[in-house]
Amino acid sequence: MKFIGSTLVAFTIAALSSLPSQSEAFTVGLATTKPTTSSFVPQSLSKRNTNTNNLNQSTSSNLMMSYSVGIVGATGAVGKEIRQCLEKSSFPTDKLRIFGSERSKGKVVESDKFGSITVELFDVEKARECNVVFLAVSGDFALEHAKAISDNDGAVVIDNSSAFRYEKDIPLVVPEINGQCTKGARLIANPNCTTAIGLMALWPLHKAFQLKKILMSTYQAASGAGQPGMDELTEGTKTYLNDTDEQPKNEIFAYPLPFNVIPQIDKFQDNGYTKEEMKVTWESRKICGLDDEFPISCTAVRIPTIRAHSEVIVVETEKDVDMDVARQVLEDAPGVKVLDNQEKLEYPMPLTATGSYDVEVGRLRESLVFGKKGIEFFVCGDQLLRGAALNAVLVAEEMNTNGALAEMFN
């Protein structure tokens, strides 16, 4: 017999009774908030446009061009979000094609912007007919097909898997940090969700104060395991609250996730860290151009929330930190929304970050450990957006802006 306070039970049962079916769960994302801006571009991304001449230099010629875009894996969690991001994006798409498996072939996907799209059976030659192809598939699939699509003047491939992230000659890109690396590249890797979210705050602080060490603890939603992970949490919570002796099933996670936290994501490595934790170290160094020995340590924990990852980040800096300057640096940073008002109890949460294009940053304070040369803060970002689909579409936008696509397909 499980004991839970009656108020909590009533609230949770009411919430679960209103949840969509498994097939609908991703479409609504179980979000309680919507993006706050009317356009695709995050509100804070517009800061980048006012601080550089990059757009003015490139868009005059690029606005005349439009591109054929393909999505492989568009019926999965990330793939659906890529399509929805393209719906709101200013990226000049003249045709959107969706490629799927034998099971998905022939299905019709309705799109406000692109009309009715019939899912095509994936074929390398068909994918090569596109200018830009987003891969929202497994690493094994990407390893088998990505280069076949992109090599020999093929399509530009933006891959969401981990297949190519650590290859020296393949750019691993967060557009606000190293977007220029896309020039001349036909295969680009999208970073791990945890890395992409954290770096949105870490990069501007690194430029201002020169980071010396990074310590991170992450609290990652079920969405990190895709739609099956979200479904397992939803169904498992319903099972738990039925007040029977039946235990929630765990086929996706190592243990049942409802009312639990699991301090393991991905496989353990020889050094005692998990691969998910090491991804933060490896990818942060590559994206930011840091030394191979730059100290970055992460502990990754799976928590029973549906969507949006949270991160506690502690940094040691080379320079003394003025907290007012640090706050202003973050407020000026593209893709960042500062939520840090103690009096009003404003701080980042999955509740507010879900469905938002910007990464929320708050709880900013001088570190008690590192003193004037340290900052501690809390970050929250939508794993399926900034941590995946949004970043991928912004890569394509960056390649249009910096002229990389025009040089390839002019």
**pLDDT tens track for 340-390:** 999 999 999 999 999 999 999 999 999 999 999 999 999 999 999 999 999
pLDDT at 100: 92
Q: Determine which one of 130, 181, 298, 309 is catalytic.
A: 309
Amino acid identity of residue 215, one-letter, is L
pLDDT at 55: 32
Q: What is the dihedral of CA 303, 308, 309, 310, to 10 degrees?
A: -90
Q: With 60 as the cut, is the pLDDT of residue 9 above it? A: no
Query: How confident is the model over 309-329, as pLDDT tens digits?
Result: 999 999 999 999 999 999 999
pLDDT at 65: 87
Q: Which of 387, 396, 409, 388 is nearest to 91 (CA)?
A: 396
pTM: 0.84
pLDDT at 169: 94
Residue 63's pLDDT band, with cuts at 50, 70 and 90, is: low
Measured CA to CA, the distance from residue 378 to residue 42 in angstroms comes to 20
Cα 354-197-42 angle, rounded to 5 deg: 60
**DSSP SS3 for 379:** strand
Q: Determine which one of 130, 193, 288, 298 is catalytic.
A: 193
The chain-wide mean pLDDT, for the chain, equals 87
Query: How confident is the model over 160-210, as pLDDT tens digits?
Result: 999 999 999 999 999 999 999 999 999 999 999 999 999 999 999 999 999
| 288 is an active site residue | no
**What are the two backbone dihedrals, phi and then psi, of residue 375, each rounded to the nearest 5 degrees?**
-135, 145
| 309 is an active site residue | yes
Query: How confident is the model over 20-60, as pLDDT tens digits?
Result: 333 333 232 333 333 333 334 443 445 544 333 333 334 44
DSSP per residue, 301-370: EE-S-SS-EEEEEEEEESS---HHHHHHHHHHSTTEEE--BTTTTB---HHHHTT-SSEEEEEEEEETTT
